Structure 1
Amino acid sequence: MIPAAFRVSAPELTGDAGPWREPAAFIDLAGEENDVPHIRLPACPVIGVGARGHPLAHRLDTVIESHRDVGAVSKAIVDQPLAAAVVTQLLRQLPALPPEQGLTAESMAYAVLQGSAGHRAWIAAQPRREVLPEGEVRLSRQDGELTVTLDRPGAGNAIDRPMRDGLHEAFALANADETITRVVLRAEGKAFSLGAELSEFGTTTDPATAHRIRCLTLPAREAVHCAGRLEARIDGACVGAGLELAAYARRITATPRSWFQLPELAMGILPGAGGCVSLTRRVGRQRALLLILSGRRINARQALAWGLVDALVDKLA
């Protein structure tokens, strides 16, 4: 059921209507007969509920095909309205930007949210976490194939600072060496990656400094240049930064037990490891935003249906 305060008809979002001030706008597509070419999207998510093939659907930020999913998405937006608005506005721009410019826009949007009350409150609420051993990124090469392995299985391959630096260096090596014809990204253990190391959130308190660091060392900055040679092999959980990076690969192979999630909205931020760019390019703006706003897990078969992965195999090579 669409919350009454968030329900809107498409004509109410045209130039003749006043500004929409709620944190979200939901349009019941079953009640809209035609396309509305002059719709003006406000600074919040505009979400269609109904068939993706409706003539109006392509103008909206995303589409929820089942009414039963509306409640969870609307609650997530209400809980973090600023993050939902910023990531929605970013994704509207990304299809028109080259990947490198998209990464810069993503990083600046992420920096805005790093200083927000929503993100600071999330950090303040986090329990003290056990300090786990640092991870590493192992490289091996056979002929023209470079294998890049996430090696921190005891922490679910959560990507810490040494691993980020190692990934950046690995992809930079691939870009510098023309004899490397294939790059394989894989992981040790039962999870591909549980995302970024949560204990490191908030350690760089100045958003501008954090943006500069991302511009210099973000692995996606190098991965985007070898994406045509990159393959990802996923088994188990593929979450947050792990999914964001893997999505640059030209081919992703996963096992049936794999699952995928972008949990950043609940933290008051957006996917900042390059995922807004990579997921938009891989599954389209609408499905990327739905993954972000819902924060829900999708299983391997759903990922295959969306084009998030290219093949399912019982066992990875």
Structure 2
Amino acid sequence: MNPDTQPARTEALTQDSLAGHALESAYSSLRSPFDAQPYLLIDLDAGTTCAPAQLRLLARWLEAQACPVIGIGSRTRGIGEACDLVLSDDAGLGGVIDNIVRAPLAAMTLVQVLRATTRMALARALSVESLAYSTLQAGPEFQRWSAANPPAPESIASDDGPAVLIERSEDRLQLRLNRPSSRNAMSVEMRDALVEAFELAAMDNSIAHVDVSALGACFSAGGALQEFGTAGDAASSHAVRSLRLPAATLLRCEAIVNVHVHGACIGSGIELPAFADRLTASPASFFQLPEIRFGLIPGAGGCISIPRRIGRQRTAYLALSARRINAATALDWGLVDEIVTTAD
């Protein structure tokens, strides 16, 4: 489907028809990743609004669907709150559906993780995200992308000095990402350096402030794509993330962490900063979750950190559309706390 060609609203179910469909598929999903239409559309403006008693039953049924549930319309309360994402109109729907159709397994896994972790303790939720991410690494969608983009870790550009510059001034620790030549890609080297820095902040009670920023044109363009596919088997990949995930160590000191981002903040370049107690952005910053294009979901903590700031539905929209949002939108949604002008 071309992103400019919007699906007909006739594809969408009305609220009146939901109860009948729920009865027909009470013990199975109405749609699945194996269907030609691996998503469920609901026209929120058509039909009669669900009664409260019926709403509770239908909300549980929608949350059990093995596919993204997309609401379209202005009546966002009621059944709209049970949808995985809500769009006010058809604009942008084509791009979301394109990505779902190209990677239906990743799309299903994304919404299942977001549903499951909404009220879960953060550390446990990170484990759920990692397990899901590892499953998709072994799946056909990522394998297809990986075959077309073979690993080439030796091609990652580097710079002099450590991957993260660390400076201590009294009770303040300053961390600066120091791989501008690779747009501060979250390589294994960068990941390990951040883990060690956050472990230091968590263990040293004399550190009261941790300021994180980056050198170069942007904060971080996300995971080093040249390393994708080098992690070995999926189970070992999950084990590595369980031991060396920057988000997990940041959580141990998040109350004292302030992050300032600028330029591109893509994938892990926003997933990790979103855990900070305070997150500021330069006016020209932009944010994107592109993982669906690789047959994956956010795997650096983004399924946990970003919903905590902007909610489950907007997170699903970012991840399924893979669209960029600018700093003004990020501030309006609550993804960042303030837009500030600094000497980046």
Pairwise same-fold verdict (TM > 0.5)? yes
Is residue 151–residue 225 contact of structure 2 (8 Å, CA) maintained in 1?
no
Structure 2 gaps, min length 5? 1-5, 32-36
Give the Cα–Cα distance (whole angstroms) in 1 for the partners of residues 302 and 175 of structure 2: 19
* 1:151–1:188 Cα contact (<8 Å) kept: yes
Residue aligning to 2:3: none
Residue of 280, 303, 311 corresponding to 2:330: 303
Q: Distance in 1 between matches of 2:332 and 2:92?
A: 18
Aligned counterpart, 2:34: none
- Which stretches of structure 1, 4 residues or longer, exceed 3 Å deviation after superposition? 1-6, 10-15, 127-131
* SS of 2:192 mapped into structure 1: helix
Letter matched to residue 157 of structure 2: L
Shift of 1:80: 0.4
Contact kept? 1:255, 1:316, Cα under 8 Å: no
Residue 49 of structure 1 aligns with which residue? 72
Is 2:151–2:229's contact at 8 Å kept on the other side of the alignment? no
The CA distance in 2 between the partners of 1:315 and 1:131, in whole Å, is 28
Q: Which residue of 2 aligns with 1:8?
A: 13
Work out the CA distance in 2 between the residues paired with 1:57 and 1:274.
26
Distance 1:78-1:131 versus aligned 2 partners, 3 A rule:
same
* Residue 12 of structure 1: how far off its partner (Å): 4.3
Secondary structure of 1:203 counterpart: coil
Residue 176 of structure 2: SS of its match in structure 1?
strand
* Residues 15, 46 of structure 2: 8 Å contact kept: no
Match of 1:29 among 28, 40, 44: 44
Provide closer, same or farther for how the CA distance between residues 205 and 58 of structure 1 changes in structure 2, counting only shifts above 3 A.
same
Q: Indicate how the Cα distance of structure 1 residues 115 and 6 shifts in structure 2: closer, same or farther if over 3 A, else same.
A: farther
Shift of 1:179: 1.2
Match of 2:142 among 115, 119, 123: 119
Distance across 2 between alignment mates of 1:190 and 1:299: 16
1:20 matched to which residue of 2? 30
Q: In the alignment, what sits opposite 1:133?
A: 158
Confirm or deny that 1:218 pairs with 2:233.
no
Are residues 1:162 and 2:189 paired? Answer: yes
- The alpha carbon displacement at 1:153 in A equals 0.5
**Contact 2:279–2:336 under 8 Å retained in 1:** yes
What does the per-residue CA deviation read over 1:108-155, in whole Å, with 9 as the maximum and x for residues that have no partner?
000110001100010111267634226601111111111111111011
1:92 aligns with 2:115: yes
Q: Secondary structure at the match of 1:185?
A: strand
> How big is the shift at 1:159?
1.3
The structural deviation recorded for 1:221 is: 0.9
Distance 1:225 1:128, change over 3 A: closer
> Percent of counterpart pairs with the same letter?
40
Query: In structure 1, what is the Cα distance between the partners aligned to 2:259 and 2:175?
Result: 10
Q: What residue ranges of structure 1 are gaps of 5+ in the alignment? A: none
Q: Which residue of 2 aligns with 1:38?
A: 57
2:165 paired with 1:142? no
Q: Secondary structure at the match of 1:23?
A: coil
Deviation at 1:11, TM superposition (A): 4.7
